């Protein structure tokens, strides 16, 4: 399981890095052509939009792996105070509750994202006809499913470590 997780981590990191570099490059080229050469490239806007969508939804998995989901700051600041007064169990419960809400939202994204991707699959892009809009929409359930995999791993390691195993809790 560790080898699969490491492979997924590396692959996802490389894909996100490549997409970010690709996005920066095509935007730079697009600006040069549009404002310096007065000859705009029509497909740059569409491809940059698709790249940003890919980075956003594939980034769900990376954010989940790093345990950097959006936190409500006030709750995050109150957890140490709650731990002092009510003990560590309430903090674990609050973490579990927050994770359960995110898991619920990711499950909804997977379920409805598949339907939307199927619905939009035959539609071609505006200027790039070889990219189907359904390909872009398929990134929603894919990224959400990767996030769910990381949540499952996080909680598996948590409960495994609670039983006395010494494996690292890092994903």
Looking at the predicted structure, is the pLDDT value of residue 141 above 90?
Answer: yes
Q: Which of 72-76, 107-111, 146-150 has the lowest mean pLDDT?
A: 72-76
> For the residues of 65-123, what is the DSSP string, one character each?
HTT-----HHHHHHHHHHHHHH-HHHHHHHHHHHHHHHHHHHHHHHHHHHHHHHHHTTP
Which pLDDT score is estimated for 28?
95
Nearest CA among 44, 43, 57 for reference residue 137: 57
Question: How does residue 124 score in pLDDT terms, banded at 50, 70 and 90?
Answer: confident
Q: What angle do CA 18, 69, 144 make, to 5 degrees?
A: 60
pLDDT of 82 reads 67
Q: Which residues pair with 124 in a beta bridge?
A: 132
Q: What is the pLDDT of residues 19-32, one digit of tens each?
A: 999 999 999 999 99
The DSSP letter of residue 34 is I
Q: Can you give the pLDDT at residue 171?
A: 47
Q: Is the model's pLDDT at 139 over the cut of 50?
A: yes
Distances (CA, A) of 8 to 2, 16, 58, 62, 122: 10, 12, 12, 10, 29
What does the angle CA 55 – CA 64 – CA 9 come to, to the nearest 5 degrees?
A: 70
Q: How far is CA 22 from the centre of its chain?
A: 18
CA 117 to chain centre: 17
């Amino acid at each position: 399981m560790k080898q699969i997780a490491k492979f997924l981590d590396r692959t996802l990191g490389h894909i996100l890095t490549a997409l970010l570099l690709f996005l920066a490059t095509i935007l730079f080229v697009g600006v040069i052509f549009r404002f310096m050469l007065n000859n705009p490239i029509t497909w740059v806007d569409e491809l940059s939009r698709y790249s940003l969508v890919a980075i956003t939804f594939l980034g769900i998995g990376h954010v989940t792996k790093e345990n950097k989901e959006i936190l409500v700051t006030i709750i995050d600041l109150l957890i140490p105070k709650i731990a002092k007064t009510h003990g560590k169990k309430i903090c674990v419960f609050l973490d579990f509750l927050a994770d359960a809400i995110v898991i619920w939202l990711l499950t909804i994204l997977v379920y409805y994202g598949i339907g939307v991707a199927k619905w939009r699959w035959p539609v071609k892009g505006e200027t790039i006809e070889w990219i189907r809009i359904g390909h872009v929409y398929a990134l929603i359930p894919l990224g959400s499913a990767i996030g769910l995999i990381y949540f499952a791993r996080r909680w598996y390691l948590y409960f495994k470590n609670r039983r006395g195993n010494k494996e690292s809790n890092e994903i």
